Amino acid sequence: MQRGNNLSTNLFDHLSKKELEQLGRDIQLLPPKSDYMDIEGIGKIDKSISGLIECLNTKGFITLASCSGMKSDHDDKDIKSGYISFDLEKLGQKLNTLIEIAESLECASIEEGDCYFRESVTLRFKGEGKSDLKKRWKIFYDDILKMVD
């Protein structure tokens, strides 16, 4: 029995305090250092894209996860791209709309996979710096609004 106790106390000894804190955030045991909005029924969303995510969900584009990739939302991380993962099962015909918009933005890649044990489609946005990534999010937001209104 002693052996099991040693394993649990020594398991993270090699990590620094900063690495332990980040691990706690990554597995959601500690609150994120990022600037986020808590949206009812959706969860914690990066502040800079919270309006977009709320709008998408309202319009039936059900999201599973997202990250703005913006330094203003993530002071503690060096992130260079953002993404939105959508629930593939709930997208239905809206999938074609998403693909059409993503393909028109040369910065976005489209990936099928799993997110939180659900089939998903993920759009990734990359920019050449903060203002470029912010501009690409705005273009996506404007394009999606035109297609669903």
Q: What tens digit of pLDDT does each residue of 5-64 get?
A: 444 557 777 778 777 776 666 665 555 566 688 888 888 899 999 999 999 999 899 999
Closest C-alpha among 18, 123, 137 to residue 65 = 123
Please tell me the distance from the alpha carbon of residue 65 to that of residue 84, in angstroms, as a whole number. 6
- Delineate the domains of the chain, giving CATH numbers in brackets: 1-31 (no CATH), 34-148 (3.90.1150)
Query: Can you give the pLDDT at residue 76?
Result: 64
Q: What tens digit of pLDDT does each residue of 93-132 get?
A: 888 888 888 888 776 788 999 998 999 999 998 877 768 8
Instruction: Please name the helix (run of DSSP H) or strand (run of DSSP E) that holds residue 109, with its range, or none.
Output: strand 108-115
